[in-house]
Amino acid sequence: MADLSKTPIAALAGDAVIHHFRKIYHGQMILNVGITREHANDLIAAGLGDFVAFGREYIANPDFIERVRLKAPLNELRPEGFYGPSPVGYTDYPSLTQNQIESLTKEIIGETL
């Protein structure tokens, strides 16, 4: 979650900020900052938000959606590439290979049989 220390809502660190705004705001909420795939599923299942936005993991995984679907490991973040002036760190993270996709798909199919 965002670093709320030294802000007027410092007491709402962690998920408390989500609980706080869910109670007082009844429109659609997009949750963001430091939320893992697993935590995102928990938050949505608990009705605490409508969507979750992923920033760094999306940058580091050009096939992020596919990786979520396949429960695939994510690429390690390279923060030194964030906010840089060049495409390095934005366009050079690897996607899953076809072999990885096939083997992860088989695992998922195995789980559902």
Ligand X SMILES: Cc1cc2nc3c(=O)[nH]c(=O)nc-3n(C[C@H](O)[C@H](O)[C@H](O)COP(=O)(O)O)c2cc1C
Nearer to ligand X, 54 or 96 (CB): 54
- When asked if residue 25 is in the footprint of ligand X (CB under 6 A), the reply is no
Distance (Å, whole) CA 43 – CA 90 = 28
Distance of closest approach, residue 33 Cβ to ligand X, in angstroms = 4
Distance (Å, whole) CA 66 – CA 111 = 17
Alpha helices in the chain (DSSP H): 16-24, 37-45, 56-60, 64-70, 98-112
Distance of closest approach, residue 106 Cβ to ligand X, in angstroms = 29
Distance of closest approach, residue 95 Cβ to ligand X, in angstroms = 19
Distance (Å, whole) CA 99 – CA 83 = 32
- When asked if residue 83 is in the footprint of ligand X (CB under 6 A), the reply is yes
- When asked if residue 54 is in the footprint of ligand X (CB under 6 A), the reply is yes
Paired strand residues for 53: 32
Closest residue by beta carbon to ligand X: 55
- When asked if residue 77 is in the footprint of ligand X (CB under 6 A), the reply is no
Distance of closest approach, residue 57 Cβ to ligand X, in angstroms = 6
Q: How far is it between the farthest Cα atoms of the chain?
A: 51
Interacting residues toward ligand X by CB under 6 A: 32-34, 54-57, 59, 82-83
